[in-house]
Amino acid sequence: MRTIYLDHAATTPVRPEVLAAMEPYAAERFGNPSSVHRWGQQARTALEEARERLAAAVGAARREIVFTGSGTEADNLAVLGRWLHARRAGGPVAVACSAVEHKAVLAAVRAAEREGAEALILAVDEEGRTDLGAVEEALRSRPCVVSVMWGNNETGVLQPVEEIAALCREAGVVFHSDAVQALGRVPVRVDRVPCDLLTVSAHKIGGPKGIGALYVRSGVDLEPLLHGGGQEAGLRPGTQNVAAAVGFAVAAELAVREQEAEAQRLAALRDRLEKALVDGLPGTVVNGGGAPRLPHILNVSVPGVDQESVLFALDLEGVAASSGSACTSGGVELSHVLTAMGRTADARTASVRLSLGRTTTSADIDEAARTIVDVLARIRAAAEG
């Protein structure tokens, strides 16, 4: 059976160029970058070169990049690092984020809330775009950070980050954006959009798992979440994963270099898939379809289809898909993103996320479209029968 992987928003295969660049640092150049001897010096050089290349890929300076263990960790460092810093100064602390953030941000905001912070959750419109009025309103509470993602991981909907960044800048409030899905799919540059903090992750762009990074604009103060040997300017202690950092830098460079052409290619494929599903499955709604979107994510709601069965049935036919975020379990629990967009939970409506990537071909899309239409139509018939 032919298998088609349409879950690139969950993770991507490591690119051969990336693996080749990493390989020496797993074995013969194994040094600890903090060591003074030649092994350490070699590792330090590689680490700092990787930092420089990653920084350049997003328009940052080398010293503004902090390597972390994941995108989730970078999001936590941004939100909770700001909150800890503000709390230390005394007085009430507010933390703001959009209602459609990745759980890494939302749960961090809720954690701060449990410790006494005021959580300001910014409403979105029915397409999932953060309401600028809500941002202005939140800014009046002087939050220690406003976190709004660049592009949504479930729907692909692009957030008005330029406008929000400008509003925050004007108000003198620190702005964080999770660009994990956006990097390599749309231009992401901190020298064009005035972000203060930006999260990126390697494994969504052909890099290895286990490494993320937080861009921290010079002059923005954060408290570390971990304490130890002072690595990463004291913001993320722990011996750095040099091989992964090297792989991340290569993956980011490639993704940014190829971004424009790849975005065009993926958007065309995504549109073809979208049309095939909407035409083949009456009643299908494209979530966020009215807003500008990342080119690689398609999220559809199909009525008359059992949410839980659909991913299993697609997997049995060789198509890898997902529903919202990977950890949202349960057939009737609608994802927080679709809920924020005003959808209501319905066990008999399946929401499916299909996400494309570098390895997705035009033939894949045509075959996947046929399979998905067939499988969903069969489930519909079984549910009715």
Partner 1 sequence: MSSDGRMTVLVAMSGGVDSSVAAALLVEQGHRVIGVTMKTFCYASTPGPSRTCCGLDGIQDARRVCDRLGIPHYVFDMEEEFTRDVIADFVSEYAAGRTPNPCVRCNSNTKIPDLLRRGRMLGADAVATGHYARIEEDGNGAWVVRRAVDGLKDQAYFLWGIPREVLPRLRFPLGELTKPEVRARARELGLVTADKPESQEICFVPDGDYAGFLAAHLGEDHPALTPGPLVTADGTVVGRHRGYARYTVGQRKGLGGGFPRPLYVLRVRPATNEVVVGAVEELNRDDVALGDLNWLTTPPSVGDRVEVQVRHRAPAVPATVVRADPECVELRLDRPVRAITPGQSGVLFRGDVLLGGGRIR
The catalytic residue positions are 327
Say whether residue 327 binds partner 1 (CB under 8 A). Answer: yes
Contact mark string toward partner 1, 262..301, x via CB under 8 A: ----------------------------------------
Nearby residues of 303 by Cβ (< 8 Å), 6 or more positions away: 283, 284, 346, 348, 349
Closest Cα to residue 149, out of 125, 174, 182? Answer: 182
- What six digits make up the tokens of 196? 């203060």
Instruction: Provide, rounded to whole angstroms, the least separation between the CB of residue 331 and partner 1.
Output: 6
What sign for the dihedral angle of Cα 208, 212, 218, 223? negative
Element (H, E) at 138: helix 132-139
Closest CB to partner 1 among residues 66, 302: 302
How far apart CA 113 and CA 176 sit, in angstroms, is 18
Find the part of the chain contacting partner 1 (CB under 8 A) among 18-26, 207-215, 226-234, 324-332: 324-332
Given candidates 182, 313, 319, 352, which one binds partner 1 under the rule CB under 8 A? 313
CB under 8 A: which stretch of 137-145, 216-224, 360-368, 375-383 binds partner 1? Answer: 375-383
Of residues 331-360, which lie at the interface with partner 1 (CB under 8 A)? 331-332
Residues in contact with partner 1, counted by CB under 8 A, come to a total of: 17
Interface segment toward partner 1; rule CB under 8 A; list 112-120, 129-137, 200-208, 326-334: 326-334
The sign of the torsion formed by the CA atoms of 201, 179, 353, 205 equals negative
- Distance of closest approach, residue 333 Cβ to partner 1, in angstroms: 9
Q: Please, which residue, 214 or 305, has the CB nearer to partner 1?
A: 305
* DSSP one-letter code for 324: S
Contact pick of 162, 170, 260, 315 for partner 1 (by CB under 8 A): 315
Q: Which stretch binds partner 1 (CB under 8 A): 86-94, 150-158, 306-314, 352-360?
A: 306-314
Q: In what helix (H) or strand (E) does residue 140 lie, and over which residues does it extend?
A: none
**Cβ atoms 218, 61 nearer than 8 A:** yes
Beta pairing class for 197-201 and 175-178:
parallel
Q: Which one of 131, 163, 308, 367 is in contact with partner 1 (CB under 8 A)?
A: 308
Q: Which residue has the tokens 């489930």?
A: 379
- Site for partner 1 contains 382 (CB under 8 A): yes
The Cα-based distances of 344 to 98, 126, 129, 348 in angstroms read 19, 12, 18, 11
Extended beta strands in 115-222, E state? 118-122, 145-147, 175-178, 197-201, 212-216
Q: Which long-range contacts (CB under 8 A, 24 or more apart) does 264-269 make?
A: 264/295, 266/185, 266/295, 266/296, 266/356, 266/357, 266/360, 267/295, 269/356, 269/360, 269/362, 269/365
Does 325 engage in binding with partner 1 (CB under 8 A)?
Answer: no
Q: Which region, judged by CB under 8 A, interacts with partner 1, from 41-49, 63-71, 237-245, 322-330?
A: 322-330
* Residue 261 found at the interface with partner 1 (CB under 8 A): no
Task: Please state the closest distance from residue 316 (CB atom) to partner 1, in A.
Answer: 6
Binds partner 1 by CB under 8 A, chosen from 20, 268, 363, 383: 383
Q: Is residue 371 near partner 1 by the rule CB under 8 A?
A: no
Check residue 330 for interaction with partner 1 (CB under 8 A): yes
| 329 touches partner 1 (CB under 8 A) | yes
Q: Are strands 65-68 and 212-216 parallel, antiparallel or unpaired?
A: antiparallel
| In the complex, least distance from residue 330 CB atom to partner 1, rounded to whole angstroms | 5
- What are the structure tokens assigned to 367, written together? 């075959």
Residues that bind partner 1 (CB under 8 A): 306, 308-309, 312-313, 315-316, 327, 329-332, 378-379, 382-383, 385
